Amino acid sequence: MTPNQRLMVAVLLSVVFFVAYTAIFPPEQPEMAQVKQSNSKSDVASKNQQASNILPNSVSNVAGHEISPQESKVANDLSTLVTVSNKHFILKMDTLGRISSTELLDEKFNDKEDNHAQLIPATGTKPLFIRFLDTNLNEEATKTAYIANISALDVKDGAKKVVLTQKLSNLTVTKEITFYPDGHYDAKVLLSDNKRYFIYLGQRPEITEQMMTVSGAMVYTDDGIVTIVEDGDAEGRKTFSGVELISAFDQYSASIMYGFTKDTNIVIERDRDDNPVVYFEATQNIDFNGYIGQKEYKTLKSINPVLTNAIEYGWFTFASKPLFQLLLWLHGILGNWGWSIIALTLIIRVVLYPLTYKGMVSMQKMKNIAPQVKAVQAKYKGDPQRMNAAVMDLYKKHGANPLGGCLPMLLQIPVFFAIYRVLLNAVELQGAPWMLWVQDLSRMDSTFVLPILMGASMYYQQKLTPSNFTDPMQEKVFKFLPIIFTFFFVTFPSGLVLYWFVNNLFSIAQQFIVNQQFKNAKDIEVAIAHKTEKKND
């Protein structure tokens, strides 16, 4: 293969590699958030190390679901103590003072079985669960029910507060929780005596399990570092300080806690399935905030701008965030996410047009001189040095660059990666229609029309694109790529397939323009040559 052909194949393989990238080669996460070098930070680090060393095995056991028989009995006997509701969700708290369930009532958030989304898993730790360092005290706490000052709260018109109280032999625990209509809450925990204890974030939602999405736990620190521990990858104990938010998340939803003091000790451990479990060491009287719901950008920003960092796009966050902002702006104008995706694709193509145009022109030039290159290679077959020199002279004479058609395409790959992550993680696309049969851009096209159109457009684009394959087998493999991509895209969200399809259409239009320009130029050359020949006669 020539260098141009090798790079063309490399580009195509890079695209295939990317879509499997997240699942096959997840990025390594740092052991703990970076700590600034100052006296106060050194004190915090010392405190964290001390806390990490003295955390009892019993804490790790709860994280790993290895609960004692007594605790298991209490857990099975739990009943609902408080119900918080509005038209969008129903949240319940049990007699252990935990958020035991959160049900989303909007149909667009339904799970794969079309049931209402349940954000709190049936097993595992629950949000606001308290565990004491003292074993005897903790055993009593897991057998003593809380009492509430109210059993039902309707938050459709505004925030409402509930007070939970647990009276132990030598300690009284009070939880004051204010719930808001948008799904966030303010929590205040007060102890009548200073005892060491820990508050749990709870297990992540288990609603959306699409291929190539990341699920697990996140820690975002005040120095802008994001640490993600994916399900199945948790190992040992990781400790953090200076934390802005912690999140247990799946593709679209999350359980988040935030509003910590700088010296709050955040810990991630693993359960028996190597999934992350997050908790933090609390003080005698502590205030913090939480949110349970969908990772919708506008909602998170309205609650607290720091929560938008819970929407994570992987390595291409630097490009994905501004692209999503642009998509959001377009939606504000067009009012339809499908047309917004098409408009975004058009803008990207216009911005990248100089690169794509240069690449297309270079490929056309390479196609035109391909017969001459083949003749030179045959002529100097036994002398590689003379052959290479002659080929390079031929490139220079015709202004062709064997890398010119590929480098612009390689530079566009990060843009595709970024838009891919945006459309895969945007909860705003859930239940969002485009037109006709596409009524949910977050789900696959059950009619398969969009993937087929995408494959057909890719095939037609391939027919228009100049190629100089000399090996018939390579050319056959190249022709099968549209079929491979069609099957690959069948299960993708409709929004992502729509982007790729429209992108192909714009590429076809650009390629047609370039081909027509070369055809016109060639016709002019032929006409001039014919006129010159006639004049000489």
Q: Can you tell me the distance from the alpha carbon of 507 to that of 524, in angstroms, rounded to the nearest whole number? A: 26
Digits of tens for pLDDT over the chain (537 positions)? 443 344 344 445 544 444 444 444 444 433 333 333 334 444 434 444 443 333 434 334 443 334 433 333 344 447 889 999 999 999 999 999 999 999 988 887 877 777 888 888 888 889 999 999 999 999 999 999 999 999 899 998 889 999 999 999 999 999 999 999 998 999 999 999 999 999 999 888 887 655 567 788 899 998 888 888 888 888 888 889 889 999 998 888 899 999 999 989 999 988 888 889 999 999 999 999 999 999 899 999 999 999 998 887 767 777 788 888 888 899 889 888 889 988 988 888 888 777 777 766 766 677 677 777 777 777 777 777 777 787 777 777 776 666 655 655 666 677 777 887 887 778 888 777 888 888 888 777 788 888 888 888 888 877 776 555 555 665 666 677 778 778 777 877 888 888 888 888 888 887 777 767 666 666 665 666 666 666 665
- Quote the tokens at residue 171: 């300690």
Nearest to 173 by CA among 157, 193, 203, 200: 193
Q: Can you tell me the distance from the alpha carbon of 15 to that of 480, in angstroms, rounded to the nearest whole number? A: 15
- The one-letter code for the residue type at 398 is H
Q: Can you tell me the distance from the alpha carbon of 174 to that of 178, in angstroms, rounded to the nearest whole number? A: 13
Q: Can you tell me the distance from the alpha carbon of 495 to that of 420, in angstroms, rounded to the nearest whole number? A: 10
Helix (H/G/I), strand (E/B), else coil: 92? strand
CA torsion 435-436-442-447 (nearest 10°) is: -160
Which DSSP string do the residues of 30-87 spell out, in sequence order? -SS----SSHHHHHHHHHHHHHHHH--HHHHHHHTT---HHHHHHHHT--EEEEEE-S
Q: Can you tell me the distance from the alpha carbon of 271 to that of 61, in angstroms, rounded to the nearest whole number? A: 8
Q: Can you tell me the distance from the alpha carbon of 473 to that of 440, in angstroms, rounded to the nearest whole number? A: 40
- Neighbour count for residue 50 (Cβ, 10 Å): 11
Helix (H/G/I), strand (E/B), else coil: 424? helix
- Measured over the CA atoms of residue 365, residue 371, residue 372 and residue 378, the dihedral's sign is positive
Contact 120, 101 (CB under 8 A): yes
The terminus-to-terminus CA distance of the chain in angstroms comes to 45
CA torsion 147-151-155-156 (nearest 10°) is: 170
Contact 52, 60 (CB under 8 A): no
Q: Can you tell me the distance from the alpha carbon of 389 to that of 248, in angstroms, rounded to the nearest whole number? A: 60
- Quote the tokens at residue 263: 């010296």
Contact 440, 426 (CB under 8 A): no
Helices 337-351 & 353-368 angle (0-180, nearest 10): 60
Q: Can you tell me the distance from the alpha carbon of 307 to that of 316, in angstroms, rounded to the nearest whole number? A: 19
- Neighbour count for residue 62 (Cβ, 10 Å): 23
- Neighbour count for residue 426 (Cβ, 10 Å): 27
Question: Residue 290 phi/psi, 5° resolution?
Answer: -150, 165
Residue with structure tokens 């491979």?
Answer: 484
Helix (H/G/I), strand (E/B), else coil: 198? strand
- Length in residues, the chain: 537
Domains along the sequence of the chain with CATH: 80-312 (2.70.98.90), 327-367+404-534 (no CATH)
Contact 282, 199 (CB under 8 A): yes
Using CA atoms, how far residue 415 sits from 24, 359, 411, 494, in Å, is 21, 16, 8, 19
